[in-house]
C-alpha cells in the first residue's frame, strides 16, 4: 500500500453507521481509490466538521442515483428556494479485522 493511501478525507452529504453519501463526479480518481483495497484511515466530514473516523475499512459502491435538494437561490429574491438535482453515490463500509 502506498504512502498516499494512509489517510483519506471526504466531504459527505449524509452518513450513518454503515454508509455515506457523496456528490458523484467531484473527484473520480478519489472515488476509484476509495473502493480499491482496505482504507487504513477514512475521515468523513460534513460541512467541514469531522463526523466519522474509521479505521481499516473496506468500501463499496451501494448505489448511484439522483437527489433533489432545496437551496437558497442567489439569482432570485433573497429568501427564495431553488430546486436542483445532483447525482450522488452511496457507499457502504465495513471494518476489516
Residues 29-65 have pLDDT tens digits of 777 778 888 899 999 999 999 999 999 999 998 888 8
If 0-12 CB within 10 Å is exposed, 13-18 middle and 19+ buried, where does residue 45 land? middle
Q: With cut-offs at 50, 70 and 90, classify the pLDDT of residue 5.
A: low
Cβ atoms of 31 and 23 within 8 Å: the answer is: no
If 0-12 CB within 10 Å is exposed, 13-18 middle and 19+ buried, where does residue 46 land? middle
Q: Provide the grid cell at 16.
A: 450513518
Q: pTM of whole model > 0.85? A: no
Better-predicted residue by pLDDT, 76 or 65: 65
Amino acid at each position: 500500500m502506498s504512502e498516499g493511501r494512509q489517510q483519506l478525507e471526504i466531504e459527505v452529504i449524509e452518513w450513518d453507521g454503515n454508509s455515506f453519501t457523496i456528490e458523484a463526479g467531484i473527484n473520480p480518481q478519489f472515488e476509484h481509490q476509495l473502493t480499491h483495497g482496505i482504507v487504513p484511515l477514512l475521515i468523513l466530514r460534513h460541512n467541514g466538521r469531522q463526523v466519522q473516523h474509521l479505521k481499516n475499512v473496506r468500501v463499496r459502491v451501494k448505489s448511484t442515483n439522483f437527489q433533489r435538494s432545496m437551496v437558497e437561490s442567489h439569482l432570485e429574491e433573497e429568501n427564495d428556494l431553488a430546486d436542483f438535482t445532483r447525482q450522488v453515490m452511496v457507499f457502504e463500509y465495513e471494518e476489516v479485522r
